[in-house]
Amino acid sequence: MHSIRIALFAATAIPLAACATVQDPAGPNAMMAAAQADADAAATDAHERLFAIFAAADEAELANNPINALFRGDMRYADTLGNYLTDAYNNTERANAQDNLAKLQGIDRAALDETDQIAYDVFAYDQREALSNLTPEILALTDVRPINHFFGFHTFYPTLSSGKSAAPYKTVEDYENGLSRNAGYVKLIDRSIAKFREGMDTGVLETKLTIGNVIEQLETQDALKIEESPYWGPIEAMPDDFSAADKARLTAAYRASIADVYAANRRLHDFLKSEYYPQARDSVGLSQMKGGAALYQQLIEQTTTLPLTADYLHNLGLSEVARIKGEMERVKAQVGFTGSLSEFFDFIRTDPRFKPKSREDLTQRYYDIGEEVEAKIPAFFAVTPKTDLEIRPYEPFREKFEAGGSYQSGAPDGSRPGIFYFNAYDLPSRTTPGETTLFLHEGEPGHHFQISLAQENEALPAFMRFGGNTAYVEGWALYAETLGYPMGLYDDPYQRFGTLDDEMLRAMRLVVDTGLHAKGWTRDQAIEYMLANSGMGRTDATAEVERYIAIPSQALAYKVGALKIQELRDKAKAALGDRFDIKAFHQQVLGTGALPLPVLEQKIDRWIAAQKAG
């Protein structure tokens, strides 16, 4: 279509200009039409050149990050995990980003339409962020800490290889690819050990806490027989149409390959336990690690997409904690509880009415919540994902160290569902009032809507369909929790307490993350703060704090992003009055993928102005 438009404009421009020279009465209009034609042609040319840059960058990204291709259903690189933790990988990433920025300079941004300008801005932002992570100074602080209990291939890879994730096991070639990936995993674990050794030499070390947890994770996996491990799942589900010879050959090959995976994990375990753990840091805060204070400031700005400081975020958290505690006091009074707020927290933690009876009972609760939420969705969203949502508990081999819930994206074409995982570990320590909130966040309309709608939008360039930033992604999911109020899901005071308790968690994260990584807080100090200000059980509070220790700054994104989206909604409502449409607002927020917060704000401001102009 674009090439046809260019040809038509080029063909009509000369005759129209000629008419004007003989003082045709339509001359001024003809000249305006010619000018518009030239502008449209320029915009079309700029669009096509911009999207050619995007397409080339995406191809380069997938070639260097084959796991991303696998999750998108692209099987071209399915036989490899990639050469992560190598100079070659980092050099390729750096060269790609530099090349992308150089090409972008050749595009006249002013010639692009509004949507393409957003894409231009996000792409430039992403490339600059990539380069900031690939400086020698930063890599010396990050690559030498390749694994902790919350981030690492040692927990990601078993699920990927289970036959229940993105890696397909439908053809003989799929199974051969799985064997090749297993070999790549072994190499990656050995490279991880080498990187840990580099950190030991330079004094950049992980914490005893995170490494101790990794050791336990590896021991949990090693205790499983090969036939009981996730890796054996594809053999248990081998397609019936495979020949007897292929079945026998692949079964034997997988047994040997999985044994190699187990051996690599044991090498990692033994190295960490006997050599690394004794030298690991006793402290837990990033600012107490060599080079960690500067790294934490960079992480804050990357995570929030805003130039914020640890002090600002700490104080924002304290303010939000005080506000939410006031709301909790009102719920306590409404249900007639006469004790202190701390005693009310203990009541919620311990009363049997708030305890799930079993894993099956908890699963059914989430099924019921899903049906209730889906009945409310049409009043708030004009566009919903075609990708289905599946509800699952975490697998037992990883549930102890996982968060209360998480989301795994489905296939872009809807052929594989998105998955809402919930945690059924240590059920006696868990409470039920926050279940609705967790589903809104991880499932519908939280991560499942935001991620699926972006992936399914083929009009967007790939980096906007599949990329994103934590402030937008987690900010949207926390904002989605607040929709439970107008949906009528929090009319019950205990459900309302549940969502306040979850909101309190995100407010406390601002306090605790900055406390740990900028203000010298200890692990126990952070846990006690969370117990004193919420209804969380000790198991959950401990898991949360250890998560913040493992992935500094990630916890800051939730409140920062949600507050920005709420601010933009309130601005639109105030400006548009009765003309404000919540479904239209949500489509504006979700319609162009996960934007850096400044880019999102500019987009919403333009939308408000356009709505006011009619």
pLDDT of residue 399: 81
Q: In this structure, what is the dihedral angle of CA atoms 212, 216, 219, 225, given to the nearest 10 degrees?
A: -160
pLDDT at residue 571 above 60? yes
pLDDT in tens, 167-213: 999 999 999 999 999 999 999 999 999 999 999 999 999 999 999 99
Sheet of strand 418-422, all strands in order from the earlier edge strand to the far edge: 389-393, 418-422, 405-408
Give the confidence band of 539 by pLDDT, cuts at 50, 70, 90: confident
pLDDT at residue 31 above 50? yes
pLDDT of residue 3: 27
Residue spans per domain, the chain: 2-64+86-138, 143-282, 298-562
pLDDT in tens, 1-25: 222 222 222 222 222 233 333 344 4
- Rounded CA gap, 452 and 449, in Å? 5
pLDDT of residue 28: 58
pLDDT of residue 12: 26
pLDDT of residue 37: 63
pLDDT in tens, 287-332: 999 999 999 999 999 999 999 999 999 999 999 999 999 999 999 9
pLDDT at residue 131 above 60? yes
pLDDT at residue 26 above 80? no
Residue 44 one-letter amino acid: T
Cβ count near 589 (within 10 Å):
21
Is-contact 467 126, C-beta < 8 A? yes
Give the confidence band of 39 by pLDDT, cuts at 50, 70, 90: low
Residue 110 dihedral angles phi and psi, to the nearest 5°: -65, -20
Nearest to 466 by CA among 476, 448, 451, 477: 451
Cβ count near 595 (within 10 Å):
24
pLDDT of residue 34: 61
Give the confidence band of 509 by pLDDT, cuts at 50, 70, 90: very high
pLDDT of residue 405: 85
pLDDT of residue 361: 87
Nearest to 284 by CA among 28, 552, 475: 552
Which comes out higher in pLDDT, residue 446 or 360? Answer: 446
Q: What is the CA radius of gyration of the chain?
A: 27
- Among 30-34, 137-141, 159-163, 563-567, the minimum mean pLDDT is found in 30-34
List, as one string, the DSSP characters of 259-287. HHHHHHHHHHHHHIIIIIGGGSBS---GG
Mean pLDDT of the chain: 91
Through-space distance between the first and last CA atoms of the chain, rounded to whole angstroms: 29
pLDDT in tens, 418-439: 999 988 877 777 766 788 999 9
Give the confidence band of 401 by pLDDT, cuts at 50, 70, 90: confident
Is-contact 430 351, C-beta < 8 A? no
Mean pLDDT confidence for 152-177: 96
Mean pLDDT confidence for 113-142: 96
- Rounded CA gap, 438 and 477, in Å? 9
pLDDT at residue 286 above 80? yes
Is-contact 451 409, C-beta < 8 A? yes
pLDDT at residue 470 above 60? yes
pLDDT of residue 11: 26
Mean pLDDT confidence for 209-225: 97
Helices (runs of H) and strands (runs of E) counted in the chain: 25, 3
